[in-house]
Amino acid sequence: MNQVDYLRISLIDRCNFRCQYCMPEGAELDYILKQQLLTDEELLTLLEFVFIPVGLTRFRLTGGEPLLRPRVLELVGAIASLPQTQDLSMTTNGFLLAPMAQSLYNAGLRRINISLDSLDPDTFNQIIGNQGRGRWQQVWDGIQAAYQVGFNPLKLNVVVIPGVNDREILDLAALTIDKQWHVRFIEFMPIGNAHLFGDRGWIPSEEIRQRIRYRWGLTESQVCGNGPADVFQIPGAQGTLGFISQMSECFCDRCNRMRLSADGWLRPCLLNEAGQIDLKTALRNGISTAHLREQVRKLLEIKPEINFKQRDPGNTKGTYTRTMSQIGG
Ligand code: SAM
Ligand code: SF4
């Protein structure tokens, strides 16, 4: 059985972008109220006395946009300095990254994933919800800053959207040739957004690989923190190419992760909320961390039975109402 040792922690559900596949403009999103967010202290208590003792020792900070979390540097520092933290990483849209990259590194963050769906400022702007063309440059500056500072591996996440950015697959893959950048192509998931992209569907990873293979060839490879990605490399390239194929392949049997939402719900699966535990309310009601530990241990035991496919087997289009920013992607 897979060892579940990885926790994705959503620091905030808000975001400064409105990516059409995640927080479509005009969508009714019920934001978590400030007083409902887990405080830094509550999060650190859960890490130290609940998650780490049950074996969850590798953490990824995400959101919404994690860099919008107040005092994020202090929080990164506190999590990095817990003696049992084995790995700490972050997924960010990169918009606020350039001036923060060095401080994040100094605070103890070593691995970072930055979303970059396009190399073209106009397409990028269209994807992020028409927030202004200048945003692409600011994200690009964030990527360069993270590279200079020494984040390793530095991964770039690309959600491939048919008819929007799929023509850039080769250009994005080419970023891995001269630099140790790791580009990961993510199959677009119609969650909370089916009305926008439902008709265009999604492009299977194998089709993306074929396009790249035809141009350069591809060999199998490895990179630290693969997670569910299948990793390949253009022969001779410095970086790698990852493919996250949650639509075309079921990797539930390889799943090693749990998710903590910004308001303190612990969930065993991205799209199946069976067994979820409201840890924040429990903490605020004075339930002991020893009791919570037992609850989490039990949830870990039943996790293999809670998965993506079995949630709704008839739902072949995979349409869900919660968006990634709400789940904590
Ligand atoms: N705001 C940060 C960012 O964009 O990197 C972190 C949170 S975001 C929800 C985490 C990842 O989920 C991003 O790489 C984003 O592209 C991906 N994502 C969001 N909605 C998605 C969808 N519908 N299908 C596939 N990936 C999605
Ligand atoms: Fe924000 Fe990330 Fe969602 Fe885009 S994908 S809207 S950047 S949370």
Report pTM.
Answer: 0.93
Q: Which one of 14, 22, 68, 244 would you pick to mutate in the ligand 1 pocket, going by the greatest count of ligand atoms within 8 A of its CB?
A: 22
**Which pLDDT does position 70 carry in this prediction?**
96
CA of 93 to the centre of ligand 2 (A): 7
Residue 314 has pLDDT above 50, yes or no: no
> Which ligand 1 atom minimizes the distance to the CA of 328?
9
Residues having CB closer than 6 A to ligand 1 are: 15, 21-22, 62-63, 65, 91-93, 115, 157, 159, 186, 188-189, 191, 193, 324-325, 329
Burial readout 154-187 (b: 16 or more C-beta within 10 A, e: otherwise): bbbbbbbbeebbbebbeebbbbbeeeebbbbbbb
Return the number of other C-beta atoms located less than 10 Å from residue 315's C-beta: 11
| Whether pLDDT at 17 is above 90 | yes
Q: Give the residue whose CA is nearest to atom 13 of ligand 1.
A: 115
* CA-93 nearest atom, ligand 2: 7
Q: What does the CA dihedral 288, 83, 77, 228 come to, rounded to 10 degrees?
A: -90
Pocket residue to mutate for ligand 1, from 16, 136, 138, 157, most atoms within 8 A of Cβ: 157
**Share above pLDDT 70 across residues of the chain, in percent, rounded to a whole number:** 88
Nearest atom in ligand 1 to the alpha carbon of residue 329 is 9
Q: Which residues contact 201 (CB under 8 A, 6 or more apart)?
A: 162
Pocket of ligand 2 (CB under 6 A): 15, 17-19, 22-23, 63-65, 93, 115, 324-325
Does 57 score more than 70 pLDDT? Answer: yes
DSSP class of residue 135 equals H
Nearest to 155 by CA among 115, 208, 187: 115
Interval 72-88 mean pLDDT: 97
Mean pLDDT of 8-26: 89
Write out the CATH class of domain 6-327: alpha beta
Residue 313 banded pLDDT, cuts 50, 70, 90: very low
Residue indicated by tokens 């350069």: 216
Question: pLDDT at residue 105 above 90?
Answer: yes
Query: What does the DSSP 8-state code read for residue 257?
Result: E
- Predicted pLDDT of residue 7: 96
Q: What pLDDT score was predicted for residue 290?
A: 98
Ligand nearest the Cα of residue 64 is 2
Least confident interval from 11-15, 58-62, 65-69, 311-315: 311-315
Integer Cα distance of 329 and 305 in angstroms: 21
Q: Relative to the CA of 16, which ligand 2 atom is closest? A: 1
Ligand 2 atom 8: the closest Cα is on which residue? 64
For residue 274, pLDDT beyond 80: no
Which two tokens mark 32?
């978590």
Looking at residue 302, what is its pLDDT?
86
36 has a pLDDT exceeding 80: yes
Ligand (nearest to CA of 91) = 1
Does pLDDT of 2 surpass 70?
yes
Q: How confident is the model at residue 112 (pLDDT cuts 50, 70, 90)?
A: very high
Which residue owns the Cα nearest ligand 1 atom 25?
A: 188
Residue 313 CB partners (closer than 8 Å, separation 6+): none
Span 185-238, pLDDT tens digits: 999 887 766 666 556 678 999 999 999 999 999 999 988 775 788 999 999 999
Distance 235 CA to ligand 2 centre (A): 32
For residue 87, report the distance from its CA to the centre of ligand 2, in Å: 23
Asked if 256 and 264 touch (Cβ cutoff 8 Å), the reply is: no
pLDDT at 327: 64
